[in-house]
Amino acid sequence: MNEEFVEALKEIVKEKGVSEDLIFSTLEDALVAAYKKNYAKQGATTQNVVVNMNRETGEIHVYSRKTVVEEVLDEVNEISIEDAKEIDPRYELGEVVNVEVTPKKFGRVAAQAAKQVVIQRIKEEERRIVYNEFMEKECDIISGTVIRKDKSNVFVDLGKIEAVLGPNEQMQGETYSFNERLKLYIVEVKNTTKGAQVIVSRTHPGLVKRLFELEVPEIYNGIVEIKSIAREAGSRTKISVYSNDENVDAMGACVGPKGIRVQNIVNELKNEKIDIIKWSKLPEEYIANALSPAKVLDVHVDEDNKSARVIVEDNQLSLAIGKEGQNVRLAAKLTGWKIDIKSSSQVSD
């Protein structure tokens, strides 16, 4: 060990952003193991050894920690009071004496042990730092770049780590090109033996929620609340909003001047349709709003079964139900109510 090694070590620690104290203390532990393996006397595996490494010069000292006793029964871990007082007259029975046992050529063994341990610990620390960094971003949006496809998976570069966009997290009809920049929702961050594993999504309702929070200042500031989101990714989303300020129109804030705010989100979601619904504490009103763009005549609710019967004009029936039942399906998911739609002629019959 020498000053050049210490300087190089500190440079690596700084570059990787890991703790200098952690690396040096880990190194000292490794040197204890190296000493016991290569220099300790036979049967001395229980020897209490400490290694001190100078953080500036790299100079190493190995000490055997021995307890001061009247009569030595364990030469490895004990020292007589007479021998202890020769080292320092102030030593008393029961105290621990550090006896230097640094081998003459310990530097070469130390260097070999240091290299392996430092590389391993820096890798572990890097993984821990990356894991903690992405854990803080769980349930948030992150931007990434498409780097490759493998079967049905898309791999995205997030800067310090690759994330996998699995087939179930990909938007219907969306294609992913090399070097394409995407906004993704971090669903989960797992700590594995190989480091952090980041699960990202383009289909999660949270992606829409966070896009609105980023695009609409009134949501970010808490004036407008997102009450619920129902989404069929790549096709259509319904989002219900409520204003805590009677002077602020929740739907208008989300749409933005000339529709610019919602259009930015639609563009990001590759033209996915977005219905912005006014939330109401009255279930009849909320359910009627949720079936937009269809116009509702009447809503009858059954509180016990949390079901609703909705009446619409004949010419609004197909619009209320939607293509392949999508509109009513999303409205039911948004409100949490079972919805049965009838036309006015069906009811009169």
Give the whole-number percent of the chain exceeding pLDDT 70. Answer: 97
Average the pLDDT over 265-271 and give the result. 94
**Ranges for all domains in the chain classified under CATH 3.30.300.20:** 204-279, 282-349
Cα–Cα nearest to 306, from 275, 284, 276: 284
pLDDT in the model for residue 35: 84
Place of tokens 């030469």: 75
Average the pLDDT over 172-193 and give the result. 92
User: Which CATH number describes the domain made up of 204-279?
Assistant: 3.30.300.20
Distance, CA of 277 to CA of 24 (rounded, Å): 59
Distance, CA of 213 to CA of 239 (rounded, Å): 12
Average the pLDDT over 69-95 and give the result. 92
- DSSP assigned state of 40: S
Q: Under a CB-based contact definition with an 8 Å cutoff, are residues 111 and 5 in contact?
A: yes
Residues 106, 109, 115, 121, CA torsion sign: negative
Secondary structure (3-state) at 151: coil
Average the pLDDT over 215-241 and give the result. 96
pLDDT in the model for residue 113: 72
Cα–Cα nearest to 270, from 154, 177, 165, 149: 177
Could you give the count of Cα atoms lying within 13 Å of 311 in the half-sphere of its Cβ? 10
Distance, CA of 31 to CA of 5 (rounded, Å): 15
Q: Which residues pair with 128 in a beta bridge?
A: none
pLDDT in the model for residue 279: 97
Does residue 139 surpass a pLDDT of 90? yes
- Two tokens at 98? 């550090």
Return the CATH fold of 282-349.
Answer: GMP Synthetase; Chain A, domain 3 (3.30.300)
- Two tokens at 135? 């854990």
pLDDT in the model for residue 84: 93
- Mean pLDDT over all residues of the chain? 90
**Ranges for all domains in the chain classified under CATH 2.40.50.140:** 142-201
Does residue 265 surpass a pLDDT of 60? yes
**Identity (one letter) of the amino acid at 76?**
V
Does residue 42 surpass a pLDDT of 60? no
> What element of type H or E holds 97?
strand 96-100
Distance, CA of 346 to CA of 349 (rounded, Å): 5
Return the CATH fold of 142-201.
Answer: OB fold (Dihydrolipoamide Acetyltransferase, E2P) (2.40.50)
What's the pLDDT tens digit per position in 148-167? 998 899 999 999 899 999 99
**Ranges for all domains in the chain classified under CATH 3.30.1480.10:** 3-129
Cα–Cα nearest to 18, from 125, 124, 118: 125
Distance, CA of 274 to CA of 265 (rounded, Å): 9
pLDDT in the model for residue 183: 95
- Two tokens at 39? 């220099």
Higher pLDDT, 213 or 172: 213
Average the pLDDT over 238-263 and give the result. 96
Q: What CATH class has 3-129?
A: alpha beta
Does residue 41 surpass a pLDDT of 80? no
